[in-house]
Copies of this chain bind each other. A is one copy, B any other.
């Protein structure tokens, strides 16, 4: 089964938004990468903004699904969070959602910005639940502030990408992730039993 023109257009838009952002992406570039002509694109989509909206929503969905796999997997809260943070990532490409946060046209449009806000809010909420669960099970100490710690974890990820791209190296990303895991680790109870 072959991809339709619509699908190819959306996929090439997703790639270009990731690589070049919204202001850096032109309809012509989208068409060329998709191997589709002008007429076809404007037949299926109202324009650049319309295509971008579909592309961003799909990317946001993917990101949530990716996270959910690790966060709902087996293991202690700490292990699941580690698995999520250390999962295979194309670090130097950055986060396809986070990067749009720097795009003036995206942030100026409530419609385009909404999927970004929802994704990060969801992710933080999910991490909060995992941490809360770890605390309820006695794996994590009582006085851990789960909600702000969840925000910190998401921020480390996003900031890690920034540092990696500035250095053109994965190292600062990994250091930042290991750093936050080290800090969190001190909040585990030594006699922690996993949720059996």
Taking beta carbons and an 8 Å cutoff, which residues of A are in contact with B? 19-21, 23-24, 94, 97-99, 101-105, 107, 113, 116-117, 119-121, 124, 144-145, 147-160, 162-163, 165-168, 172-173, 175-180, 182-184, 186-187
Main secondary structure of the interface of A (DSSP, over half): helix
When distances are taken between beta carbons in the complex, the residues of chain B under 8 Å from A165 are: 101-102, 107
Q: List 24 A-B contacts (CB under 8 A).
A: A24-B105, A98-B162, A107-B168, A113-B166, A117-B167, A120-B162, A124-B163, A124-B172, A144-B182, A148-B179, A149-B179, A149-B182, A151-B172, A151-B176, A151-B179, A154-B159, A154-B176, A155-B157, A155-B159, A155-B162, A155-B163, A155-B180, A156-B159, A159-B160
Distance between A52 CB and nearest chain B CB, rounded to angstroms:
15
When distances are taken between beta carbons in the complex, the residues of chain B under 8 Å from A104 are: 19-21, 24
Distance between A190 CB and nearest chain B CB, rounded to angstroms:
14
Cross-interface CB contact of A184 among B97, B120, B159, B183, cutoff 8 Å = B183
